[in-house]
Structure 1
Amino acid sequence: MALATASEAFVDILRQEKAYTIFGIVGSAFMDPLDLFPAAGLRFVSVRHEQNAALMAEGFARASGRVGVCIGQNGPGVTNLVTGVAQAYANHTPVVVITPSVTSASLGTHAIQEVDQMSMFAGITTDQFQVNRPDKIAWALRNAFRAATLTNGPVQIDIPRDYFYGELDYQELTPTEYRVARVGARASEEDLARAIQVLRSASNPVIVAGLGVVNSGCRAEVAQLAERLAAPVATVFQHNDAFSTEHPLGVGPIGYGGSKAAMRVIADADVVLALGTRLNAFGTNPHYGVDYWPHAAKFIHNDIDPHQIGRNRPVAAGLPGDAREVVQQLLAALGPAEEDLQLKLSKRIDVLRSVKETWAEELDELSGGHQLPMAPKRALREVTRVIPRDAIVASDVGNISGTIGAFVDFAQPRQFLGPGTLGSIGVAYSTALGAKLARPERPVIAISGDGAWSMTIQEVMTAVTEGIPVVGVVMNNSQYGAEKRNQYDYFDERYYGTNLDNPDFSAVARAMGAFGVKVDDPDDIGDAIESAFRADSPSVVEITVDSKVLAEPYRRDAFQKPVRHLPQYRS
């Protein structure tokens, strides 16, 4: 034991946890520990809005598999963190959220910058710790890291700001002395036997791989299982990196903006084996005008959270557990392959090759043409054509960037950082900045629409100040295109609130100190993207796209034709 201030203990635990990068905006509430960051070898990334601090922490964690950390000034700084923390919660991302509060004597007095910071985060964190005395800071911070690691989600530690000045007997501990690594759970023998029975009876099984496959790093094992079953492998919406279409059995993502090949294949399935996914209802909504989900198929569901199994659709067998562990169990239980497996596998691959080639031709047609202003899918095609193979790609929600799923494939997991099921707009660039700090050796690119970009443009200044060479691509059609599509479909083209008057985003980027270029011709996109990567500095490539070309709506299932009864509104 050694006498230490609470600030010293706090900073030393961050150092012990190797949490060397912390995202936030400087605030008086945590200035005492912040003063110690340089001595501890910690980097404080000063952002321009705390929402982006949480998003960067999430991007850091998703790209690296390690815990991200963010912090905000009590009150308004903490309220600004909420959207990014909710994003981490929806995406099962381990983040420690540090929320200094008003002084302990001021709690409950409606002091300046006082809000109830615990209840605010109760529904979007997997655990919470509120420090009630200075000598509990070390215990609480260690437990925050322990909980974030074990629950794979954001965890809050709330600290009255005066407690940083307290003193305690501090015992230096390594993380292994207070937490263990997340251990993969296995399915029960009874559940496994039920799943094997269903799989043995299948004539046309299809595997759907999700985030659990990425997090457990079991793409190779999933490939073995697919080959053992002669089963195509689709990926879940926004998780293209769970399996590659370069594998002969890989067919791409289902869901919005996904692969028609995957949808056509899964439509014919008699058994669907979902691995490492909640299989969110939005990710199986009809798309391209096709209700592709095989409602009569038997469903085998694996998720690490048993609460998710059977939640949204009935199961023929449920396999709670870590995806890697469960896949290994299935492989062992299936035993030796049947004599005719190679023949069956060869025939299946031949069929899939034809299905994939047909979709590739359709996609080329959808993304072809040379009209000006260029079609959004042509722009996406040209951008994704030159993205380096090892690049990490972050995408936004939106009429253009949201349809990227059809155009990207990944050799490795943790390369695709979609916005996730929160569906928040303006998240891609900040997520990408965090990813780049986690994986500085990898090229990183963010793809956003102009509406999303307008919400995160200020972080170009952060990228310049901190020297983070991320390429930001802005698809500019001067509108909130996803919402405009809804007005087109349901409100007789009354475009209210969806048109945007934008500046020259590339010029703004240059004014901030970044490399900036504007592209109007699709033939110039490749050179512009490659130049942005070569610049090895924060870069913004603005691409002008046709505002009249709108993608499929996100939520046709959630809309109805409007009804107006009052006479003043009928017209």
Structure 2
Amino acid sequence: MTKLTTGEIIAKSLRANGVDTVFGIPGAHMYDFNDALAREEDIRFIHTRHEQGAGYMAYGYAASTGRVGAFTVVPGPGLLNSGAALCTAYGANAPVLCVTGNIMSHLIGQGRGQLHELPDHLGTLRGITKWADRINHPSEAGTRIDEAFRQMLSGRPRPAGIEAPWDVFGQATEVADPLPVIVPPPPTPDPDQIAQAVALISEAKNPLIMVGGGAREAGPEIAELARLLQAPVTAHRQGKGVLPEDDPLSLLPPAAWQYWQDCDLLIGIGSRLELQHFRWRWMPKGLKTLRIDIDPTEMVRLKPDLGLVADAAQGTRALVEMLSKSTKARPSRAADYARLRTEAEAAFRAVQPQESYLRVIREVLPRDGFFVEEVSQVGFSARMCFPVYAPRQYVTCGYQDNLGFGFNTALGVKVAHPDKAVVSVSGDGGFMFGVQELATAKQFDIAVVAIVFNNSAYGNVRRDQQTTYGNRLLGSDLENPDFVALAKSFGVEATRVEDPEGLRDALQEALASAAPRVIEVHVPRGGDASPWPFIHPAPPS
């Protein structure tokens, strides 16, 4: 037994559970925890210039590794400023831990107007996390932080929050040294349901496998299932790279849409099936749906013909083993899928200049590099045409679509993968949400290459106002700084390019420099074609 403060218990628990980096901004309520972090030699602290940046960097760390990404902010405005990042982590199923404070214990709930007080601070935290709780006394600290790790890492991974009152962080008690948390195993696939799934699959002539973020650890099993059935695999955002997207059985969404016309079985693995139900919004006649998902509530939200509540890898493995005993391998359909890919790629070349710029980025970015999209014209297009070769290499914001998450998130990705290339793409509007983190990139030498597509507008909003609302423009045109000069004022090298070949040269140089860089790409206002006909295709006639 050792006498430790609440702050020390939390810090040592983070380290015991594999956390090696904490992002954040120190503040008065958190001083005793901040000091405990400062004395924990194996934890790196990266301070940001905005609380939202700290939350997004923790998200980037978690989304690109599957490990816990941790950040700390003061209560009240600090928590609220980082709230968008917690929303992103919740929507994108990332294990992000927020450690925050509260006002003094005896003043909670009294409404006295204390520094950073919220009417219901813990309720606010609980509203944007999978689980959150308060440490009221150091004797509770170990069990509370252990439960936070269990919640984040079991079942469907999502963020958790821990708060402690200002006075509690410095209080001490005798406790055992923190140990790694034991995460409960996932549910075992039900053999009877596996047999039913095999029967459903055996009747299908044209199955489609849709993978999401829940399938990121199931790549080998999904590849085996796809080969056994000669079924194509597609993904929208989170599942990109689960099957390498240059695999003969992989189809990017525009090609998968063409196959969808004759699909008779949709096999969803770790996916909300957003692409089919929210984007395509047209169901082939007689379609049946089989789902494998660790979250049982998914079977209620979108009820399938058969739902297997299981870990994606274990459920798919059980399916493959039973199928292999009763089903002969089907003839290769690689030639059919190659034709669909060729036709879809040719059609998508109409989405200019985004397609050309994205093709250049893919050619320059190493195969094992990370690509962080953004809510922008080029980001929307990337979901349709940017191939990814391994899970977690395409980092997205999930269904929240938070404007401004991209650059900050990319910094967290790079911290987690210092030896890998990391490129973020942003629009001018989104980049300005977190431009201050250029100072963080410079101070900590976080070598992200930020590509800013500057069309002097919130481009999607502007197009909708033009096409749907009689060209009545409201708040969509932007007056921007000189991004090259702005980056250089932070001590970050930058350049401006006008075409895809210029981007090729600039990106090669930037990646070779192994330093933070900004590349501004000039796009005429209104000069980018809409990718939405491919994201929301018209129903077949």
Q: Report the equivalent of 1:132.
A: 136
Structure 2's unaligned 5+ residue stretches are 537-541
Structure 2 residue 451 is matched with structure 1 residue 451:
no
Displacement of 1:234 = 1.2
Q: What CA distance in whole angstroms lies between the structure 2 residues aligned with 1:554 and 1:44? A: 44
Code of the residue aligned with 1:205 in structure 2: it is: P
Q: Pairwise mapping of residues 26-45 of structure 1 onto structure 2 (< 5 A)?
A: 26-41=26-41, 42-45=43-46
Displacement of 1:488 = 1.7
Q: Report the equivalent of 2:539.
A: none
Displacement of 1:238 = 4.5
Q: Report the equivalent of 2:304.
A: 315
Displacement of 1:475 = 0.6
Q: 1:456 to 1:445 in 2, by over 3 A?
A: same
Q: What CA distance in whole angstroms lies between the structure 2 residues aligned with 1:44 and 1:245? A: 36
Deviates more, 1:387-396 or 1:314-323: 314-323
Q: What CA distance in whole angstroms lies between the structure 1 residues aligned with 2:345 and 2:75? A: 52
Q: Report the equivalent of 2:366.
A: 388
Partner SS state of residue 465, structure 1:
helix
Q: Report the equivalent of 2:530.
A: 551
Q: What CA distance in whole angstroms lies between the structure 2 residues aligned with 1:86 and 1:327? A: 29
Q: Report the equivalent of 2:295.
A: 305
Q: Pairwise mapping of residues 552-567 of structure 1 onto structure 2 (< 5 A)?
A: 552-553=531-532
Structure 2 residue 482 is matched with structure 1 residue 504:
yes
Q: What CA distance in whole angstroms lies between the structure 1 residues aligned with 2:231 and 2:396? A: 26
Q: Report the equivalent of 2:206.
A: 204
Displacement of 1:429 = 1.0
Q: Report the equivalent of 1:167.
A: 172
Displacement of 1:310 = 4.2
Code of the residue aligned with 1:200 in structure 2: it is: S
Q: Does the 8 A contact of 1:263 with 1:293 survive in 2?
A: no
Q: Pairwise mapping of residues 262-301 of structure 1 onto structure 2 (< 5 A)?
A: 262-280=256-274, 284-286=278-280, 293-294=283-284, 296-301=286-291
Displacement of 1:326 = 0.8
Q: Work out which of the residue numbers 162, 166, 189 in structure 2 matches 1:157.
A: 162
Q: Does the 8 A contact of 2:276 with 2:282 survive in 1?
A: no
Q: Does the 8 A contact of 1:185 with 1:325 survive in 2?
A: no
Displacement of 1:229 = 1.0
Displacement of 1:296 = 3.4
Displacement of 1:282 = 8.0
Q: Does the 8 A contact of 1:485 with 1:553 survive in 2?
A: no
Q: Does the 8 A contact of 1:195 with 1:316 survive in 2?
A: no
Structure 2 residue 113 is matched with structure 1 residue 110:
yes
- The normalised TM-score by structure 1 is 0.89
Partner SS state of residue 304, structure 2:
coil
Displacement of 1:434 = 0.7
Q: Work out which of the residue numbers 416, 419, 437 in structure 1 matches 2:397.
A: 419
Partner SS state of residue 168, structure 2:
helix
Cα RMSD between the aligned structures? 2.0
Q: 1:555 to 1:105 in 2, by over 3 A?
A: farther
Q: What CA distance in whole angstroms lies between the structure 2 residues aligned with 1:325 and 1:483? A: 43
**What are the Cα deviations for residues 360-404 of structure 1, in whole angstroms up to 9, with x where unaligned?**
23334544xxxxxxx333323323331111111110112222211
Q: What CA distance in whole angstroms lies between the structure 2 residues aligned with 1:338 and 1:67? A: 40
Q: Report the equivalent of 1:328.
A: 317
Displacement of 1:338 = 5.0
Partner SS state of residue 96, structure 1:
strand
Displacement of 1:7 = 2.7
Q: Pairwise mapping of residues 489-500 of structure 1 onto structure 2 (< 5 A)?
A: 489-500=467-478
Partner SS state of residue 485, structure 1:
helix
Q: Does the 8 A contact of 2:493 with 2:516 survive in 1?
A: yes
Q: Does the 8 A contact of 2:237 with 2:394 survive in 1?
A: no
Displacement of 1:231 = 0.9
Q: 1:282 to 1:237 in 2, by over 3 A?
A: farther
Q: Report the equivalent of 1:50.
A: 51
Q: Report the equivalent of 2:339.
A: 354
Provide the identity percentage: 29
Q: What CA distance in whole angstroms lies between the structure 1 residues aligned with 2:237 and 2:34? A: 40
Q: Report the equivalent of 1:146.
A: 150
Q: Does the 8 A contact of 1:228 with 1:337 survive in 2?
A: no
Structure 2 residue 137 is matched with structure 1 residue 100:
no
Q: 1:534 to 1:139 in 2, by over 3 A?
A: same
Displacement of 1:529 = 0.6
Q: Does the 8 A contact of 1:70 with 1:96 survive in 2?
A: yes
Q: What CA distance in whole angstroms lies between the structure 2 residues aligned with 1:555 and 1:338? A: 35
Q: Does the 8 A contact of 2:19 with 2:69 survive in 1?
A: yes
Structure 2 residue 241 is matched with structure 1 residue 241:
yes
Structure 1's unaligned 5+ residue stretches are 255-259, 368-374, 558-571
Q: Report the equivalent of 2:71.
A: 70
Deviates more, 1:160-169 or 1:103-112: 103-112
Q: Does the 8 A contact of 1:238 with 1:405 survive in 2?
A: no
Q: Does the 8 A contact of 2:209 with 2:226 survive in 1?
A: yes
Deviates more, 1:136-145 or 1:442-451: 136-145
Q: Report the equivalent of 2:222.
A: 222
Partner SS state of residue 156, structure 1:
strand
Code of the residue aligned with 1:77 in structure 2: it is: G
- The normalised TM-score by structure 2 is 0.93
Q: 1:270 to 1:282 in 2, by over 3 A?
A: closer
Q: Does the 8 A contact of 2:30 with 2:74 survive in 1?
A: yes
Stretches of 4+ aligned residues off by more than 6 angstroms = 554-557
